[in-house]
Structure 1
Amino acid sequence: MADIHPTAIIEEGAQLGEGVKVGAFCVVGPGVVLGDRVELKSHVVVTGNTEVGADTIIFPFAVIGEIPQDLKFGGEETRLVIGERNRIREHVTMNCGTQGGGGVTRIGNDGLFMAGVHIAHDVQIGDRVIVVNSAGVAGHCVVEDDVIIGGLSGLHQWVRVGRGAIIGAMTMVPNDVIPYGLVQGPRGVLDGLNLVGLKRRGVSRADITALRAAFQMLAQGEGPFMDRARRLGEETESAYVEEIVAFILGDTDRNFMTPG
Protein backbone atom coordinates (compact mmCIF):
# COMPACT_ATOMS: atom_id res chain seq x y z
CA MET A 1 0.00 0.00 0.00
CA ALA A 2 1.26 3.50 -0.89
CA ASP A 3 0.54 6.66 1.09
CA ILE A 4 -0.30 9.32 -1.52
CA HIS A 5 -1.27 12.89 -0.64
CA PRO A 6 -4.52 13.93 -2.33
CA THR A 7 -2.79 16.82 -4.15
CA ALA A 8 -0.14 14.56 -5.73
CA ILE A 9 -0.46 13.47 -9.37
CA ILE A 10 0.42 9.86 -10.15
CA GLU A 11 0.11 9.37 -13.89
CA GLU A 12 -1.28 6.14 -15.31
CA GLY A 13 1.47 3.60 -15.86
CA ALA A 14 3.64 4.59 -12.89
CA GLN A 15 4.62 1.68 -10.63
CA LEU A 16 4.79 2.17 -6.87
CA GLY A 17 6.23 -0.39 -4.48
CA GLU A 18 5.06 -1.24 -0.99
CA GLY A 19 5.21 1.49 1.62
CA VAL A 20 5.88 4.32 -0.86
CA LYS A 21 5.06 7.82 0.43
CA VAL A 22 4.23 10.62 -2.01
CA GLY A 23 3.85 14.06 -0.45
CA ALA A 24 1.87 17.13 -1.40
CA PHE A 25 2.02 18.47 -4.98
CA CYS A 26 4.38 15.78 -6.27
CA VAL A 27 4.20 14.62 -9.90
CA VAL A 28 5.11 11.05 -10.84
CA GLY A 29 5.25 10.32 -14.57
CA PRO A 30 3.91 7.27 -16.42
CA GLY A 31 7.34 5.67 -16.97
CA VAL A 32 8.46 5.89 -13.35
CA VAL A 33 9.12 2.95 -11.03
CA LEU A 34 9.41 3.74 -7.31
CA GLY A 35 10.84 0.92 -5.21
CA ASP A 36 9.62 -0.15 -1.79
CA ARG A 37 9.52 2.55 0.89
CA VAL A 38 10.65 5.35 -1.43
CA GLU A 39 9.57 8.72 -0.03
CA LEU A 40 8.92 11.88 -2.04
CA LYS A 41 8.64 14.68 0.52
CA SER A 42 6.61 17.30 -1.41
CA HIS A 43 6.78 19.28 -4.67
CA VAL A 44 9.00 16.56 -6.23
CA VAL A 45 8.89 15.79 -9.95
CA VAL A 46 9.95 12.31 -11.06
CA THR A 47 9.48 11.77 -14.77
CA GLY A 48 10.90 9.95 -17.81
CA ASN A 49 11.93 6.30 -17.76
CA THR A 50 13.19 6.52 -14.21
CA GLU A 51 13.72 3.82 -11.58
CA VAL A 52 14.23 4.82 -7.95
CA GLY A 53 15.56 2.12 -5.62
CA ALA A 54 14.12 1.11 -2.27
CA ASP A 55 14.38 3.36 0.79
CA THR A 56 15.50 6.39 -1.21
CA ILE A 57 14.25 9.78 0.03
CA ILE A 58 13.79 12.72 -2.34
CA PHE A 59 13.32 16.19 -0.85
CA PRO A 60 11.19 19.14 -2.06
CA PHE A 61 11.69 20.74 -5.48
CA ALA A 62 14.00 18.04 -6.83
CA VAL A 63 13.46 17.25 -10.53
CA ILE A 64 14.45 13.69 -11.36
CA GLY A 65 14.49 12.05 -14.79
CA GLU A 66 13.94 15.03 -17.08
CA ILE A 67 15.42 15.10 -20.58
CA PRO A 68 19.15 15.88 -20.94
CA GLN A 69 20.46 19.41 -21.27
CA ASP A 70 22.11 18.38 -24.53
CA LEU A 71 21.26 19.95 -27.88
CA LYS A 72 22.01 16.62 -29.60
CA PHE A 73 19.19 14.92 -27.73
CA GLY A 74 16.42 14.02 -30.18
CA GLY A 75 13.77 12.58 -27.92
CA GLU A 76 15.05 9.00 -27.97
CA GLU A 77 14.04 6.57 -25.23
CA THR A 78 16.68 6.72 -22.49
CA ARG A 79 16.72 6.01 -18.76
CA LEU A 80 17.74 7.10 -15.29
CA VAL A 81 18.42 4.35 -12.75
CA ILE A 82 18.87 5.30 -9.10
CA GLY A 83 19.94 2.73 -6.52
CA GLU A 84 18.81 2.13 -2.97
CA ARG A 85 18.98 4.23 0.20
CA ASN A 86 19.98 7.46 -1.50
CA ARG A 87 19.22 10.86 -0.03
CA ILE A 88 18.46 13.41 -2.73
CA ARG A 89 18.07 16.85 -1.22
CA GLU A 90 16.26 20.02 -2.25
CA HIS A 91 16.52 21.34 -5.84
CA VAL A 92 18.65 18.44 -7.08
CA THR A 93 18.39 17.67 -10.81
CA MET A 94 19.26 14.31 -12.37
CA ASN A 95 18.80 13.79 -16.12
CA CYS A 96 18.20 10.69 -18.24
CA GLY A 97 20.89 9.46 -20.63
CA THR A 98 21.40 10.03 -24.34
CA GLN A 99 21.63 7.51 -27.15
CA GLY A 100 25.20 8.54 -27.91
CA GLY A 101 26.26 8.08 -24.30
CA GLY A 102 24.87 4.60 -23.73
CA GLY A 103 21.32 5.61 -22.92
CA VAL A 104 21.46 5.31 -19.12
CA THR A 105 22.38 7.67 -16.31
CA ARG A 106 23.10 5.47 -13.30
CA ILE A 107 23.36 6.27 -9.59
CA GLY A 108 24.59 3.65 -7.09
CA ASN A 109 23.49 2.96 -3.52
CA ASP A 110 23.77 4.93 -0.28
CA GLY A 111 24.62 8.27 -1.88
CA LEU A 112 24.02 11.76 -0.53
CA PHE A 113 23.27 14.50 -3.05
CA MET A 114 22.98 17.79 -1.22
CA ALA A 115 20.87 20.81 -2.17
CA GLY A 116 21.26 22.19 -5.68
CA VAL A 117 23.41 19.36 -7.09
CA HIS A 118 23.19 18.60 -10.83
CA ILE A 119 23.86 15.15 -12.30
CA ALA A 120 23.94 15.33 -16.10
CA HIS A 121 23.18 12.80 -18.83
CA ASP A 122 25.01 9.46 -19.04
CA VAL A 123 26.86 9.97 -15.76
CA GLN A 124 27.80 6.79 -13.88
CA ILE A 125 28.06 7.19 -10.11
CA GLY A 126 29.09 4.44 -7.70
CA ASP A 127 28.11 3.64 -4.12
CA ARG A 128 28.46 5.84 -1.03
CA VAL A 129 29.22 8.96 -3.05
CA ILE A 130 28.68 12.38 -1.47
CA VAL A 131 28.11 15.41 -3.69
CA VAL A 132 27.97 18.61 -1.67
CA ASN A 133 25.73 21.65 -2.24
CA SER A 134 25.56 23.19 -5.72
CA ALA A 135 28.22 20.94 -7.26
CA GLY A 136 27.77 19.85 -10.87
CA VAL A 137 28.74 16.61 -12.61
CA ALA A 138 28.75 17.08 -16.40
CA GLY A 139 27.75 14.56 -19.04
CA HIS A 140 29.46 11.17 -19.40
CA CYS A 141 31.48 11.46 -16.17
CA VAL A 142 32.32 8.35 -14.14
CA VAL A 143 32.49 8.74 -10.36
CA GLU A 144 33.59 5.58 -8.57
CA ASP A 145 32.68 4.38 -5.05
CA ASP A 146 33.35 6.42 -1.89
CA VAL A 147 34.10 9.72 -3.66
CA ILE A 148 33.38 13.11 -2.06
CA ILE A 149 32.82 16.13 -4.32
CA GLY A 150 32.98 19.45 -2.46
CA GLY A 151 30.44 22.23 -2.66
CA LEU A 152 30.31 24.54 -5.71
CA SER A 153 32.70 22.24 -7.60
CA GLY A 154 32.34 21.17 -11.22
CA LEU A 155 33.43 18.09 -13.16
CA HIS A 156 34.14 18.55 -16.87
CA GLN A 157 32.48 16.23 -19.39
CA TRP A 158 33.98 12.72 -19.68
CA VAL A 159 36.08 13.04 -16.52
CA ARG A 160 36.68 9.94 -14.39
CA VAL A 161 37.13 10.17 -10.62
CA GLY A 162 38.67 7.09 -9.05
CA ARG A 163 37.46 5.32 -5.94
CA GLY A 164 37.99 7.07 -2.64
CA ALA A 165 39.08 10.39 -4.13
CA ILE A 166 38.07 13.74 -2.63
CA ILE A 167 37.46 17.01 -4.50
CA GLY A 168 37.79 20.19 -2.45
CA ALA A 169 35.14 22.91 -2.45
CA MET A 170 34.95 25.42 -5.35
CA THR A 171 37.19 23.28 -7.56
CA MET A 172 37.01 22.86 -11.33
CA VAL A 173 38.05 19.35 -12.37
CA PRO A 174 39.03 19.26 -16.07
CA ASN A 175 40.91 15.93 -16.06
CA ASP A 176 40.79 12.44 -14.56
CA VAL A 177 41.52 12.01 -10.85
CA ILE A 178 43.37 8.88 -9.66
CA PRO A 179 41.82 6.68 -6.95
CA TYR A 180 42.36 8.08 -3.45
CA GLY A 181 43.55 11.39 -4.88
CA LEU A 182 43.06 14.78 -3.24
CA VAL A 183 42.19 17.60 -5.66
CA GLN A 184 41.75 21.23 -4.64
CA GLY A 185 42.19 24.77 -5.86
CA PRO A 186 40.10 26.94 -8.21
CA ARG A 187 41.52 25.10 -11.22
CA GLY A 188 41.98 21.70 -9.65
CA VAL A 189 45.44 20.43 -8.78
CA LEU A 190 46.26 16.90 -7.64
CA ASP A 191 47.63 17.87 -4.26
CA GLY A 192 48.13 14.56 -2.50
CA LEU A 193 46.14 11.58 -1.25
CA ASN A 194 42.87 11.39 0.66
CA LEU A 195 44.66 10.13 3.77
CA VAL A 196 41.78 11.00 6.11
CA GLY A 197 39.37 8.94 4.03
CA LEU A 198 41.79 6.01 3.88
CA LYS A 199 42.23 6.00 7.66
CA ARG A 200 38.49 6.26 8.25
CA ARG A 201 37.96 3.15 6.13
CA GLY A 202 40.53 1.23 8.15
CA VAL A 203 43.15 0.86 5.41
CA SER A 204 46.30 -0.64 6.91
CA ARG A 205 49.38 1.44 7.64
CA ALA A 206 51.40 -0.70 5.21
CA ASP A 207 48.99 0.08 2.36
CA ILE A 208 48.94 3.79 3.20
CA THR A 209 52.74 3.80 3.19
CA ALA A 210 52.72 2.06 -0.21
CA LEU A 211 50.23 4.59 -1.56
CA ARG A 212 52.36 7.51 -0.37
CA ALA A 213 55.45 6.02 -2.00
CA ALA A 214 53.48 5.46 -5.22
CA PHE A 215 52.29 9.06 -5.24
CA GLN A 216 55.86 10.25 -4.76
CA MET A 217 57.00 8.15 -7.70
CA LEU A 218 54.19 9.46 -9.91
CA ALA A 219 55.04 13.00 -8.88
CA GLN A 220 58.83 12.94 -9.13
CA GLY A 221 59.90 9.73 -10.87
CA GLU A 222 61.87 9.70 -14.10
CA GLY A 223 60.27 9.62 -17.53
CA PRO A 224 56.76 10.40 -18.79
CA PHE A 225 53.81 10.01 -16.43
CA MET A 226 52.42 6.90 -18.15
CA ASP A 227 55.83 5.19 -18.06
CA ARG A 228 56.09 5.90 -14.34
CA ALA A 229 52.68 4.27 -13.85
CA ARG A 230 53.72 1.17 -15.80
CA ARG A 231 56.91 0.79 -13.74
CA LEU A 232 54.87 1.23 -10.58
CA GLY A 233 52.58 -1.61 -11.64
CA GLU A 234 55.57 -3.90 -12.15
CA GLU A 235 57.09 -3.12 -8.76
CA THR A 236 54.18 -2.87 -6.31
CA GLU A 237 52.61 -5.57 -4.16
CA SER A 238 49.81 -3.36 -2.81
CA ALA A 239 46.30 -3.94 -4.17
CA TYR A 240 45.55 -0.25 -3.60
CA VAL A 241 48.51 0.84 -5.71
CA GLU A 242 47.56 -1.70 -8.37
CA GLU A 243 44.12 -0.08 -8.48
CA ILE A 244 45.68 3.31 -9.20
CA VAL A 245 47.86 1.81 -11.95
CA ALA A 246 44.89 0.06 -13.57
CA PHE A 247 42.93 3.32 -13.48
CA ILE A 248 45.77 5.27 -15.13
CA LEU A 249 46.28 2.64 -17.83
CA GLY A 250 42.54 2.27 -18.50
CA ASP A 251 40.55 3.85 -21.33
CA THR A 252 39.83 7.56 -21.00
CA ASP A 253 38.75 10.54 -23.05
CA ARG A 254 40.64 13.04 -20.88
CA ASN A 255 44.17 13.69 -19.69
CA PHE A 256 45.14 13.02 -16.09
CA MET A 257 45.62 15.40 -13.24
CA THR A 258 49.27 14.76 -12.45
CA PRO A 259 50.93 15.50 -9.11
CA GLY A 260 52.58 18.88 -8.81
Structure 2
Amino acid sequence: MAGERHWSETAEIHPTALVDERARIGDHVRIGPWCSVGPDVSLGESVRLHANVVIDGHTTLGPSVEVFPFTTIGLQPQDLKYGGEPTLCEIGARTVLRENVTVHRGTTQGHGLTRIGADCLIMANAHVAHDCSLGDQVIIVNNVVMGGHVEIGSQARIMGSSALHQFVRIGRGAMVGGVCGVESDVIPYGSVLGNRARLVGLNWVGLRRSGLDSAEIHALRRAFRQLYPRHGSDDRVLGARLDAVKRDFADHPRVREIIAFMEAPSRRGLVRAARRVASEQETEGA
Protein backbone atom coordinates (compact mmCIF):
# COMPACT_ATOMS: atom_id res chain seq x y z
CA MET A 1 0.00 0.00 0.00
CA ALA A 2 1.07 3.57 -0.64
CA GLY A 3 1.05 4.37 3.08
CA GLU A 4 3.73 1.73 3.73
CA ARG A 5 6.27 3.32 1.43
CA HIS A 6 9.64 4.45 2.76
CA TRP A 7 10.47 6.61 -0.22
CA SER A 8 11.89 10.11 0.08
CA GLU A 9 9.85 12.77 -1.65
CA THR A 10 13.07 14.04 -3.22
CA ALA A 11 13.79 10.75 -5.01
CA GLU A 12 13.56 10.72 -8.81
CA ILE A 13 12.21 7.39 -10.08
CA HIS A 14 11.69 6.80 -13.79
CA PRO A 15 8.14 5.64 -14.59
CA THR A 16 9.44 2.42 -16.20
CA ALA A 17 11.42 1.40 -13.08
CA LEU A 18 9.98 -1.43 -10.95
CA VAL A 19 10.57 -0.38 -7.34
CA ASP A 20 8.91 -2.42 -4.61
CA GLU A 21 6.87 -0.29 -2.23
CA ARG A 22 8.67 -1.85 0.76
CA ALA A 23 12.13 -0.71 -0.42
CA ARG A 24 13.76 2.15 1.46
CA ILE A 25 14.66 5.02 -0.85
CA GLY A 26 16.74 7.88 0.60
CA ASP A 27 16.88 11.57 -0.23
CA HIS A 28 17.86 12.62 -3.75
CA VAL A 29 18.11 9.03 -5.03
CA ARG A 30 17.84 8.75 -8.83
CA ILE A 31 16.56 5.52 -10.36
CA GLY A 32 16.76 5.30 -14.15
CA PRO A 33 14.63 3.50 -16.71
CA TRP A 34 13.98 -0.23 -16.52
CA CYS A 35 15.64 -0.67 -13.12
CA SER A 36 14.34 -3.26 -10.65
CA VAL A 37 14.60 -2.74 -6.87
CA GLY A 38 13.44 -5.48 -4.50
CA PRO A 39 11.47 -5.20 -1.25
CA ASP A 40 14.41 -5.59 1.16
CA VAL A 41 16.69 -3.09 -0.56
CA SER A 42 17.84 0.14 1.10
CA LEU A 43 19.28 2.95 -1.03
CA GLY A 44 21.15 5.70 0.83
CA GLU A 45 21.12 9.39 0.10
CA SER A 46 22.10 10.43 -3.45
CA VAL A 47 22.43 6.90 -4.79
CA ARG A 48 22.20 6.83 -8.57
CA LEU A 49 21.08 3.81 -10.58
CA HIS A 50 21.51 4.17 -14.32
CA ALA A 51 19.29 2.20 -16.68
CA ASN A 52 18.65 -1.56 -16.38
CA VAL A 53 20.11 -2.09 -12.91
CA VAL A 54 18.74 -4.98 -10.81
CA ILE A 55 19.05 -4.93 -7.00
CA ASP A 56 17.49 -7.64 -4.87
CA GLY A 57 17.82 -9.43 -1.54
CA HIS A 58 18.66 -7.79 1.79
CA THR A 59 20.94 -5.27 0.12
CA THR A 60 22.12 -1.87 1.33
CA LEU A 61 23.79 0.79 -0.81
CA GLY A 62 25.50 3.59 1.11
CA PRO A 63 25.30 7.29 0.26
CA SER A 64 26.33 8.41 -3.24
CA VAL A 65 26.88 4.93 -4.64
CA GLU A 66 26.66 4.97 -8.44
CA VAL A 67 25.64 1.89 -10.43
CA PHE A 68 25.93 1.70 -14.22
CA PRO A 69 23.70 -0.24 -16.64
CA PHE A 70 23.19 -4.00 -16.56
CA THR A 71 24.76 -4.42 -13.13
CA THR A 72 23.11 -6.83 -10.67
CA ILE A 73 23.56 -6.59 -6.91
CA GLY A 74 22.37 -8.87 -4.12
CA LEU A 75 21.07 -11.72 -6.24
CA GLN A 76 21.35 -15.26 -4.89
CA PRO A 77 24.82 -16.80 -4.87
CA GLN A 78 26.08 -19.38 -7.33
CA ASP A 79 26.43 -21.93 -4.53
CA LEU A 80 24.50 -25.21 -4.69
CA LYS A 81 24.28 -25.26 -0.87
CA TYR A 82 22.34 -21.99 -0.80
CA GLY A 83 18.75 -22.58 0.32
CA GLY A 84 17.21 -19.14 0.01
CA GLU A 85 18.31 -17.85 3.43
CA PRO A 86 17.96 -14.07 3.99
CA THR A 87 21.67 -13.24 3.74
CA LEU A 88 23.11 -9.79 3.16
CA CYS A 89 24.93 -7.60 0.66
CA GLU A 90 26.40 -4.16 1.45
CA ILE A 91 28.03 -1.51 -0.76
CA GLY A 92 29.90 1.34 0.97
CA ALA A 93 29.53 5.05 0.37
CA ARG A 94 30.67 6.60 -2.92
CA THR A 95 31.59 3.27 -4.49
CA VAL A 96 31.13 3.07 -8.27
CA LEU A 97 30.10 -0.14 -10.05
CA ARG A 98 30.47 -0.01 -13.81
CA GLU A 99 28.61 -1.90 -16.53
CA ASN A 100 27.76 -5.60 -16.17
CA VAL A 101 29.20 -6.03 -12.68
CA THR A 102 27.68 -8.86 -10.62
CA VAL A 103 27.72 -8.86 -6.80
CA HIS A 104 26.07 -11.83 -5.05
CA ARG A 105 24.79 -11.91 -1.50
CA GLY A 106 26.37 -14.06 1.22
CA THR A 107 25.67 -17.61 2.39
CA THR A 108 25.04 -19.16 5.78
CA GLN A 109 28.12 -21.33 5.22
CA GLY A 110 30.17 -18.11 5.10
CA HIS A 111 29.74 -14.82 6.92
CA GLY A 112 26.22 -14.36 5.58
CA LEU A 113 27.43 -11.08 4.07
CA THR A 114 29.07 -9.90 0.88
CA ARG A 115 30.61 -6.48 1.50
CA ILE A 116 32.28 -3.87 -0.67
CA GLY A 117 33.73 -0.93 1.25
CA ALA A 118 33.62 2.81 0.63
CA ASP A 119 35.21 4.69 -2.28
CA CYS A 120 35.84 1.56 -4.34
CA LEU A 121 35.81 1.32 -8.14
CA ILE A 122 34.56 -1.96 -9.61
CA MET A 123 35.10 -1.79 -13.38
CA ALA A 124 33.04 -3.41 -16.13
CA ASN A 125 32.30 -7.15 -16.19
CA ALA A 126 33.84 -7.89 -12.79
CA HIS A 127 32.30 -10.54 -10.52
CA VAL A 128 32.23 -10.28 -6.71
CA ALA A 129 31.12 -13.67 -5.39
CA HIS A 130 29.25 -14.65 -2.23
CA ASP A 131 30.82 -13.84 1.14
CA CYS A 132 33.61 -11.75 -0.38
CA SER A 133 34.84 -8.80 1.67
CA LEU A 134 36.51 -5.79 0.04
CA GLY A 135 37.98 -2.95 2.08
CA ASP A 136 37.88 0.75 1.25
CA GLN A 137 39.44 2.37 -1.84
CA VAL A 138 39.85 -0.95 -3.63
CA ILE A 139 40.08 -0.90 -7.44
CA ILE A 140 38.93 -3.96 -9.38
CA VAL A 141 39.73 -3.63 -13.10
CA ASN A 142 37.70 -5.05 -16.01
CA ASN A 143 36.89 -8.76 -16.20
CA VAL A 144 38.26 -9.70 -12.78
CA VAL A 145 36.51 -12.72 -11.29
CA MET A 146 36.69 -14.02 -7.75
CA GLY A 147 35.46 -17.13 -6.02
CA GLY A 148 33.51 -17.07 -2.79
CA HIS A 149 34.95 -15.90 0.54
CA VAL A 150 37.76 -13.81 -0.98
CA GLU A 151 39.10 -11.05 1.29
CA ILE A 152 40.71 -7.94 -0.23
CA GLY A 153 42.32 -5.32 2.01
CA SER A 154 41.85 -1.59 1.61
CA GLN A 155 43.70 0.20 -1.21
CA ALA A 156 44.49 -3.02 -3.03
CA ARG A 157 44.55 -3.04 -6.85
CA ILE A 158 43.45 -6.05 -8.91
CA MET A 159 44.35 -5.60 -12.59
CA GLY A 160 42.30 -6.74 -15.58
CA SER A 161 41.21 -10.33 -16.25
CA SER A 162 42.74 -11.74 -13.07
CA ALA A 163 41.06 -14.65 -11.28
CA LEU A 164 41.10 -15.04 -7.50
CA HIS A 165 40.57 -18.52 -6.04
CA GLN A 166 37.96 -18.94 -3.31
CA PHE A 167 39.17 -18.16 0.23
CA VAL A 168 42.19 -16.20 -1.05
CA ARG A 169 43.28 -13.18 1.02
CA ILE A 170 44.76 -10.10 -0.65
CA GLY A 171 46.52 -7.84 1.84
CA ARG A 172 46.10 -4.11 2.19
CA GLY A 173 47.79 -2.07 -0.51
CA ALA A 174 48.72 -5.12 -2.59
CA MET A 175 48.92 -5.14 -6.40
CA VAL A 176 47.78 -8.10 -8.51
CA GLY A 177 49.00 -7.83 -12.10
CA GLY A 178 46.81 -8.40 -15.13
CA VAL A 179 45.75 -11.91 -16.23
CA CYS A 180 46.98 -13.48 -12.97
CA GLY A 181 45.63 -16.69 -11.53
CA VAL A 182 45.88 -16.11 -7.77
CA GLU A 183 45.65 -19.38 -5.85
CA SER A 184 47.20 -18.28 -2.55
CA ASP A 185 47.34 -15.27 -0.22
CA VAL A 186 49.16 -12.09 -1.22
CA ILE A 187 50.93 -10.25 1.62
CA PRO A 188 50.05 -6.61 2.38
CA TYR A 189 51.79 -4.24 -0.07
CA GLY A 190 52.96 -7.23 -2.11
CA SER A 191 53.11 -7.23 -5.91
CA VAL A 192 52.34 -10.43 -7.82
CA LEU A 193 52.62 -11.24 -11.52
CA GLY A 194 52.32 -14.27 -13.77
CA ASN A 195 49.83 -16.77 -15.11
CA ARG A 196 50.15 -18.51 -11.75
CA ALA A 197 50.80 -15.53 -9.51
CA ARG A 198 54.22 -15.25 -7.91
CA LEU A 199 55.44 -12.58 -5.52
CA VAL A 200 57.89 -10.31 -7.34
CA GLY A 201 58.34 -7.53 -4.80
CA LEU A 202 56.40 -4.82 -3.01
CA ASN A 203 53.97 -2.37 -4.54
CA TRP A 204 56.39 0.55 -4.41
CA VAL A 205 54.25 2.85 -6.54
CA GLY A 206 51.27 2.38 -4.25
CA LEU A 207 53.39 2.83 -1.15
CA ARG A 208 54.82 6.12 -2.38
CA ARG A 209 51.40 7.39 -3.43
CA SER A 210 50.11 6.62 0.06
CA GLY A 211 52.53 9.22 1.46
CA LEU A 212 55.16 7.03 3.10
CA ASP A 213 58.39 8.83 3.88
CA SER A 214 61.78 7.50 2.81
CA ALA A 215 62.59 6.04 6.24
CA GLU A 216 59.45 3.89 6.23
CA ILE A 217 60.07 2.73 2.66
CA HIS A 218 63.68 1.87 3.52
CA ALA A 219 62.49 -0.22 6.49
CA LEU A 220 59.98 -2.08 4.31
CA ARG A 221 62.66 -2.73 1.71
CA ARG A 222 65.05 -4.20 4.27
CA ALA A 223 62.31 -6.30 5.89
CA PHE A 224 61.16 -7.67 2.55
CA ARG A 225 64.70 -8.62 1.53
CA GLN A 226 65.09 -10.41 4.85
CA LEU A 227 61.80 -12.29 4.42
CA TYR A 228 62.42 -13.12 0.75
CA PRO A 229 66.20 -13.18 0.21
CA ARG A 230 67.79 -13.66 -3.16
CA HIS A 231 68.12 -17.30 -4.13
CA GLY A 232 70.70 -19.07 -1.98
CA SER A 233 71.60 -16.04 0.14
CA ASP A 234 69.77 -17.22 3.28
CA ASP A 235 69.15 -20.91 3.99
CA ARG A 236 66.95 -20.35 7.07
CA VAL A 237 63.37 -21.60 6.91
CA LEU A 238 60.63 -19.00 6.58
CA GLY A 239 59.62 -19.31 10.24
CA ALA A 240 63.12 -18.36 11.37
CA ARG A 241 63.17 -15.39 8.99
CA LEU A 242 59.77 -14.28 10.33
CA ASP A 243 61.07 -14.38 13.89
CA ALA A 244 64.11 -12.33 12.93
CA VAL A 245 62.01 -9.69 11.15
CA LYS A 246 59.64 -9.44 14.11
CA ARG A 247 62.61 -8.79 16.35
CA ASP A 248 64.45 -6.39 14.05
CA PHE A 249 61.42 -4.31 12.94
CA ALA A 250 59.27 -4.26 16.08
CA ASP A 251 58.84 -0.48 15.81
CA HIS A 252 57.58 -0.47 12.22
CA PRO A 253 53.75 -0.78 12.00
CA ARG A 254 53.60 -1.75 8.31
CA VAL A 255 56.19 -4.48 8.74
CA ARG A 256 54.24 -5.76 11.75
CA GLU A 257 51.12 -5.75 9.55
CA ILE A 258 52.85 -7.96 6.99
CA ILE A 259 54.06 -10.36 9.70
CA ALA A 260 50.60 -10.58 11.30
CA PHE A 261 49.07 -11.36 7.90
CA MET A 262 51.63 -14.09 7.23
CA GLU A 263 51.05 -15.69 10.64
CA ALA A 264 47.23 -15.52 10.51
CA PRO A 265 45.21 -18.68 9.76
CA SER A 266 44.89 -19.30 6.03
CA ARG A 267 42.93 -21.70 3.85
CA ARG A 268 45.20 -21.18 0.85
CA GLY A 269 48.72 -20.54 2.15
CA LEU A 270 50.98 -17.76 0.89
CA VAL A 271 51.87 -16.95 -2.70
CA ARG A 272 55.37 -18.17 -3.37
CA ALA A 273 58.12 -15.78 -4.32
CA ALA A 274 59.34 -15.80 -7.90
CA ARG A 275 62.66 -17.53 -8.51
CA ARG A 276 64.18 -14.11 -8.90
CA VAL A 277 62.54 -11.35 -6.88
CA ALA A 278 62.37 -8.25 -9.05
CA SER A 279 64.27 -5.10 -8.22
CA GLU A 280 62.35 -2.04 -7.07
CA GLN A 281 62.79 -0.43 -10.50
CA GLU A 282 61.44 -3.53 -12.28
CA THR A 283 58.40 -3.66 -10.02
CA GLU A 284 57.64 -0.01 -10.68
CA GLY A 285 57.86 -0.62 -14.42
CA ALA A 286 55.32 -3.43 -14.18
TM range (shorter): over 0.9
Give me the CA root mean square deviation: 0.9
Partner of 2:245: 232
Distance, in Å, in 1 between the alignment partners of 2:240 and 2:150 is 25
State whether structure 2 residue 184 is matched by structure 1 residue 175.
yes
Partner of 1:242: 256
Which runs of 5 or more structure 2 residues have no equivalent in the other structure? 1-9, 275-286
How many residue pairs align between the two structures? 260
State whether structure 2 residue 266 is matched by structure 1 residue 257.
no
Question: How much identity, in percent, do the aligned residues show?
Answer: 45
Q: Residue 197 of structure 2: which of 188, 194, 219 is its match?
A: 188
Question: Match for 1:248: what amino acid?
Answer: M
Partner of 2:6: none
Distance apart, 1:224 and its partner CA? 2.2
Distance, in Å, in 2 between the alignment partners of 1:64 and 1:80 is 8
Distance, in Å, in 2 between the alignment partners of 1:252 and 1:29 is 36
Q: What SS does the aligned partner of 2:226 have?
A: helix
Q: What SS does the aligned partner of 1:242 have?
A: helix
Question: Match for 1:108: what amino acid?
Answer: G
Deviations 1:31-71, CA, capped at 9 Å, x for gaps: 10000000001100001110000000000000110000111
Distance apart, 1:227 and its partner CA? 3.0
Is the CA contact (8 Å cut-off) linking 1:230 and 1:245 kept in structure 2? no
Task: Please give the TM-score of this superposition, normalised by the length of structure 2.
Answer: 0.89
State whether structure 2 residue 231 is matched by structure 1 residue 217.
no
Distance, in Å, in 2 between the alignment partners of 1:230 and 1:128 is 32
Distance apart, 1:76 and its partner CA? 1.1
Q: What SS does the aligned partner of 1:226 have?
A: helix
Distance, in Å, in 2 between the alignment partners of 1:68 and 1:226 is 38
Q: Please give the residue correspondences for 1:196-207 in structure 2 after superposition, counting only pairs within 5 Å.
A: 196-207=205-216
Partner of 2:133: 124
Which runs of 5 or more structure 1 residues have no equivalent in the other structure? none
Q: Residue 165 of structure 2: which of 139, 156, 159 is its match?
A: 156
Distance, in Å, in 2 between the alignment partners of 1:166 and 1:13 is 41
Distance, in Å, in 1 between the alignment partners of 2:193 and 2:223 is 20
Partner of 1:3: 12
Partner of 1:59: 68
Distance, in Å, in 2 between the alignment partners of 1:102 and 1:202 is 34
Q: What SS does the aligned partner of 1:50 have?
A: strand
Distance apart, 1:81 and its partner CA? 0.9
Distance, in Å, in 2 between the alignment partners of 1:225 and 1:178 is 14
Question: Match for 2:35: what amino acid?
Answer: C
Distance, in Å, in 2 between the alignment partners of 1:203 and 1:197 is 10
Distance, in Å, in 1 between the alignment partners of 2:32 and 2:176 is 34
State whether structure 2 residue 28 is matched by structure 1 residue 19.
yes
Question: Match for 1:137: what amino acid?
Answer: M
Question: Match for 2:13: what amino acid?
Answer: I
Distance, in Å, in 2 between the alignment partners of 1:250 and 1:244 is 10
Segment drifting more, 107-116 vs 210-219:
210-219
Q: What SS does the aligned partner of 2:205 have?
A: helix
Q: Please give the residue correspondences for 1:27-176 in structure 2 after superposition, counting only pairs within 5 Å.
A: 27-176=36-185
Partner of 2:281: none
Deviations 1:177-222, CA, capped at 9 Å, x for gaps: 0000001111101000100111111111111111111111111244
Deviations 1:113-164, CA, capped at 9 Å, x for gaps: 0000000000010000000000012110110000000000011010111110
Distance, in Å, in 1 between the alignment partners of 2:115 and 2:239 is 30
Greater C-alpha Rg = 2
Question: Match for 2:268: what amino acid?
Answer: R
Distance apart, 1:223 and its partner CA? 2.3
Is the CA contact (8 Å cut-off) linking 1:226 and 1:248 kept in structure 2? no
After the TM superposition, list the runs of 4 or more consecutive aligned residues in structure 1 that deviate by more than 6 angstroms. Answer: none
